[in-house]
Amino acid sequence: MKIVTVAGARPNFMKIAPIIKEFKKHRGWENLLVHTGQHYDEEMCKFFFNDLGISEPDVNLGVGSGLQGEQTGKIMIEFEKILFSHKPDLVTVVGDVNSTLACALVAAKLHIKVAHVEAGLRSFDKLMPEEVNRKLTDQISDYLFAPSPDAVENLIKEGIPESKIFLVGNIMIDTLINFLKKAEKSDILKRLRLSKERYAVLTLHRPSNVDNRQSLTEILSALNLIRERIKIVFPIHPRMQKQIKDFGLENLILGKNNFIITNPLGYLEFLKLISEAKFVLTDSGGIQEETTVLGIPCLTLRKTTERPITVKMGTNIVVGSGKKDIVDAAFNVLEGKAKKGQVPELWDGKTAERIVDILANSD
């Protein structure tokens, strides 16, 4: 079987790493790794390739950033050339970024089978570009690999034939389990002068938070109260720094005691950081899953989540972006009232094995 596996953004690499590893175990299978370049930072990509043991991509489309339609269109144009050239039997896409939908759509139009890993996740918020990408990708995929029972239910309700749906578990957790021991050796805590459970970790990148001055002001104001009780570590993206400057909010974040701002971190460094934290504040999807498995309280700075199982079973609480709600939730954790959770079914590090077994035994 000839396969093309697509990655477009940094979180995609954590999802494809265990799948590629399993593909290599099958004699006669050929896998071509395509990086669309949707998110591309040479230094960060080098970190992720090295940390995850992924070979450099066979193809880099180099599309770069852009408006939603512009970026999606560029990916489709360039990816179509790859499919005409290599004529694969299957295209594997992961997650919900623009690259996911663009490459799935091109493959479907060329009658090439599509496997979508992380199928069925829904926030039910159509204002999120990722929600549109998720729903449309699922409609045109041939193999829908769902991470949790609620994702399966979503797909069935949307009319997807059950014969295409497979409950396989969470691919992100394969990578977490595979690399946790290696991450434990990281000296990131020593370098930042941190002690276990004496700090919180913050990640922030969603447009609804970062591109909205009111929301960003509320969040940063909440953090200023929280930092009076515990250190906050914030690996910040250059775009986030620009937004803070453009909105004139530097006074809420720069030069503050107990506010430790770092450059973006590699996967192993970041995994070590969150695994030893008192709690995590985030608007990321994947981090909600990782903290659930690690047993670390997670406060999600959004109104919705496409991963409700992390709320129902895990350590996640959706607190929104309001100052009072964020502060109250953080103080509850500091006062010993953190939410306890358990690990969902099949989040056991064997998701990639199940995916590849299904592909190997399909028609």
Record the tokens describing residue 208, joined without a space: 């609804």
Q: State the catalytic residue, choosing from 26, 86, 111, 205.
A: 205
Q: Fill in the DSSP letter of residue 248.
A: T
Give the number of other CB atoms < 10 A from CB of residue 65: 11
Residue 113 and residue 89 in contact, taking contact as beta carbons nearer than 8 Å: yes
Give dist(CA 91, CA 344) in Å, integer. Answer: 28
With DSSP H G I counted as helix, E B as strand and the rest as coil, what are the percentages for the chain, rounded to 5?
50, 15, 35
| Angle at 300 (CA atoms; ends 69, 132), nearest 5 degrees | 25
Is residue 35 annotated as a catalytic residue, yes or no? no
Give the number of C-alpha atoms closer than 13 A to the C-alpha of residue 211, restricted to the C-beta side: 3
What stretches of 50-185 adopt beta strand conformation (E)?
59-60, 90-94, 113-117, 143-146, 165-167
How crowded is residue 246: how many other Cβ atoms within 10 Å of its Cβ? 10
Structure tokens at 307: 């991963």
d(CA 6, CA 27): 21
Q: How far apart, in Å, are the Cα atoms of 300 and each of 228, 262, 280, 320, 346?
A: 20, 21, 8, 7, 23
Contact 45, 111 (CB under 8 A): no
Active site residues: 205
